[in-house]
Amino acid sequence: MARILLADDDGTVRELFQRVLASSGHEVRIAQDGQEALGHADTGGPFDILVTDVHMPGIDGIALAKALSAKQPGLKILLMSGFPEQLQRGKSELTGRVETLTKPCSIEDIRAKIAALTV
């Protein structure tokens, strides 16, 4: 299973995603913002997948993905947002394996996107 770094400033979303991913057998490390996620990557990396909200205070999800991808080439990324234009921006600015997920989403959507990144 995958080592996943999950960054989202919404505690309810973090908790839901952590439960769904852990119940699927993944090892999940959570962060409440981009800065905390960078710290986890420095002390607890490497990770297989970054799951991040695009809109967060401080370092947004796209900047976080760029920073972590530079440190860890081959990192797979799942961007989440309730705003499709933010997801489009992320897809255009990032390279490598990038999936997007529009919030709100179902548990099946979460599992399917992670499964697509683990093949």
Q: What is the pLDDT of residue 75?
A: 96
pTM of the model: 0.95
Q: What is the pLDDT of residue 44?
A: 81
d(CA 91, CA 9): 21
Cα–Cα nearest to 75, from 96, 52, 45: 96
The domain segmentation of the chain, as residue ranges, is 3-118
d(CA 107, CA 65): 23
Dump pLDDT digits (tens) for 77-104: 999 999 999 999 999 999 889 999 999 9
What CATH homologous superfamily does 3-118 map to? Response regulator (3.40.50.2300)
Residues of the chain with pLDDT under 70: none
Q: What is the pLDDT of residue 35?
A: 95
Q: Is 58 left (phi over 0), alpha (psi -120 to 50) or beta?
A: left
Q: What is the pLDDT of residue 96?
A: 86
Q: What is the pLDDT of residue 3?
A: 97
SS3 78: strand
